[in-house]
Structure 1
Amino acid sequence: MTARTTITRLPPGGDPAPGRVAPRARGRRPTFVTMALGLPVAFMAIVYAYPVGKMLMKSVTEPKAGFGNFTEAATDSTIWDVLWVTVRLSLEVAVLTVVLGFPVAYFLARTSARKARFLSLLVVIPFWTSILVRSFAWIVLLGDNGLVTKVLDPLTGDSQGLLYSESAVVIAMTHILLPFPILIIKGTLDQIDASLPRAARSLGAGPVRAFVQVYLPLAVPAIVSSGMLVFVIGLGFYVTPALVGGPKQSTIAVVIAQNVQVNFDWGMAATLATMLLVLATALTLVVRRLTKVKGLVSL
């Protein structure tokens, strides 16, 4: 006896058979990952966009509406001198941190994983100390009776300290910002195949040539990115130049603080902050175009 199977077909638009539930179309609900990433991003966008928007508005509305603040700033030679000092200090610190940070990052990338973790912790530990505390420490070290002065005295014959000079500002800022290039460059060097220089040497290249022509070009994006990061951070540095620098080392951030705290000129302070923001953005875009390094700004 053969069992017969009966197939019941529903007409178009018909209801399913009794006792069977049609699957529901799933709505596009945000996932946990989307919520976990979206909320912080939205929060940061709000707390960043509102202050920047208020700053831009104050630059053209106080003390009266118009572009008078920008005209005054553009015709003031003192502001241009301060802007040049800011750019020069930031550039010197960026170059110095990259030059000092690359060998450390190279050593961390080539040492054992256990030792690299321990040494990386030593690099990160300075972040746990306030910038204000570290700047005060350099006041003690670079003063007339400081440790640095006593060490350099036999070599230079000058007992006067380096405090309140451009050298003091560069040294202190380099010490504070040095961990950034180390960590950024190390992250890139960890991804470079260590067998590439060995392969170049097996083909006849010397150790220097293999490093310069094979290994170093792969690290250039990290070098440029870390240098630009330090440069942009240095443009807005306030505490360290104000403490260890003199009048000739006044940065644009120091002038902004003076306009707010001493002159109560919020319009000019907002104007200088806007100029600094435009300068940092423009220089970042120019370097990105010239070096073709991606990751700093997405366009």
Structure 2
Amino acid sequence: MKKFAQLAIPYLIWSFVMLLVPMILILMYSFLKPGNSIVHFQLSLDNYIRFFTDKDFLIILWRSLWIALKTTAICLLLGYPIAYFISRCSEKMQGVLIMAVTVPMWINMLVRTYAWIGILSDGGPAAWLLSLFGFHDVKLLYTQTAVLIGMVYNFLPFMILQINTSLSKMDRSLLDASSDLGANKFQTFWRIVFPLSLPGVVSGITLVFLPAVSAFFIPKLLGGGQYFLIGNVIENQFITVGEWNFGSAISMIMALVMMLLMLFVRKLDQKANKER
């Protein structure tokens, strides 16, 4: 047993160097501010106070949470029926459909997002399709709608795969028992299928919401720099402005927000499990 435990030592060292050390450095930077010729660094809460007292930053934070919530809701509404359909197919067909869902993920996310610039641009396929329904001169690119489309497209597979995993593990005999007891299809779905798929739903929500709330290159490319989210603010502070201390403070605030949201989702999942 000790030999197997020793195999985890390289992984623990790698986790400490690659995960824990950067987080410690970001935390330290967030509480520091430039000093003078005598004192190079000073401990301060100014970076956090600046964020919470500036209305613009709070608006951007709320905007990021709101668009991440909309992205998650749309992915759930689209992903659940797709995952349910895949789970009802034969094993051979399930493999083909899962491959169809995962193949786009083999391409770099940045490249896939660039492709949407051409699709949503004026004169592109999306504009041509809208013109067929009488919607002429509708601007899609560099809008909130474009950002939302890009996020849903990139994060939808995570929702589908998680829900499909839960549905595929479901005991089919429960469906037969429900039918034998006189339940219709809707009652079977609502009382058996959906409750048993909740772990996948919760995992899918987590995997979609967390990256969506901190995304920065999707709003930058499809929003054209006109639709700023909190991820863009952090990138701007580190790369453009050079205020690493303030950027670190925003990063720690977002990390805390994400941990609180994950804790909330976990509590809901535990409550649902107790009820089941």
TM-score (norm 1): 0.84
Please list every run of 5 or more consecutive structure 1 residues that lacks an aligned counterpart in the other structure: 1-27, 295-299
What does 1:116-265 correspond to in 2, within 5 Å? Answer: 116-247=94-225, 249-265=227-243
Please list every run of 5 or more consecutive structure 2 residues that lacks an aligned counterpart in the other structure: 35-41
Please tell me whether the aligned partners of residues 237 and 244 of structure 2 are also in contact (alpha carbons under 8 angstroms).
Answer: yes
Give the Cα–Cα distance (whole angstroms) in 2 for the partners of residues 214 and 120 of structure 1: 24
Q: Does 1:96 align with 2:74?
A: yes
1:30 equivalent in structure 2: 3
Give the Cα–Cα distance (whole angstroms) in 2 for the partners of residues 82 and 29 of structure 1: 50
Letter in 1 for 2:169: Q
| 1:254-280 superposed Cα distances (whole Å, 9 cap, x missing partner) | 011111222111111001111110000
Give the Cα–Cα distance (whole angstroms) in 2 for the partners of residues 180 and 58 of structure 1: 33
How has the CA–CA distance of structure 1 residues 139 and 38 changed in structure 2, closer, same or farther, with 3 Å as cutoff?
A: same
Could you tell me which of 77, 81, 95 is aligned with 2:59?
81
Of structures 1 and 2, the larger Rg is shown by 1
Q: Tell me how far 1:36 sits from its aligned partner.
A: 4.8
Q: Does 1:286 align with 2:264?
A: yes
Please tell me whether the aligned partners of residues 225 and 293 of structure 1 are also in contact (alpha carbons under 8 angstroms).
Answer: no
Letter in 1 for 2:133: L
Give the Cα–Cα distance (whole angstroms) in 2 for the partners of residues 157 and 195 of structure 1: 49
Give the Cα–Cα distance (whole angstroms) in 1 for the partners of residues 95 and 160 of structure 2: 13
- Across the aligned residues of Structure 1 and Structure 2, the Cα RMSD in angstroms comes to 1.9
Letter in 1 for 2:208: V
Q: Tell me how far 1:247 sits from its aligned partner.
A: 4.8
Q: Tell me how far 1:154 sits from its aligned partner.
A: 3.0
Give the Cα–Cα distance (whole angstroms) in 1 for the partners of residues 195 and 134 of structure 2: 39
How has the CA–CA distance of structure 1 residues 85 and 246 changed in structure 2, closer, same or farther, with 3 Å as cutoff?
A: farther
Q: Tell me how far 1:232 sits from its aligned partner.
A: 0.7
Give the Cα–Cα distance (whole angstroms) in 1 for the partners of residues 234 and 250 of structure 2: 7
Q: Does 1:46 align with 2:17?
A: yes
TM-score (norm 2): 0.90
How has the CA–CA distance of structure 1 residues 47 and 152 changed in structure 2, closer, same or farther, with 3 Å as cutoff?
A: same
| 1:161-220 superposed Cα distances (whole Å, 9 cap, x missing partner) | 311111111111111111111111111111111222222122111111111112111111
Q: Greater helix percent: which structure? A: 2
Aligned length: 266
Letter in 1 for 2:3: P
Please tell me whether the aligned partners of residues 109 and 190 of structure 1 are also in contact (alpha carbons under 8 angstroms).
Answer: yes
Give the Cα–Cα distance (whole angstroms) in 2 for the partners of residues 291 and 126 of structure 1: 30
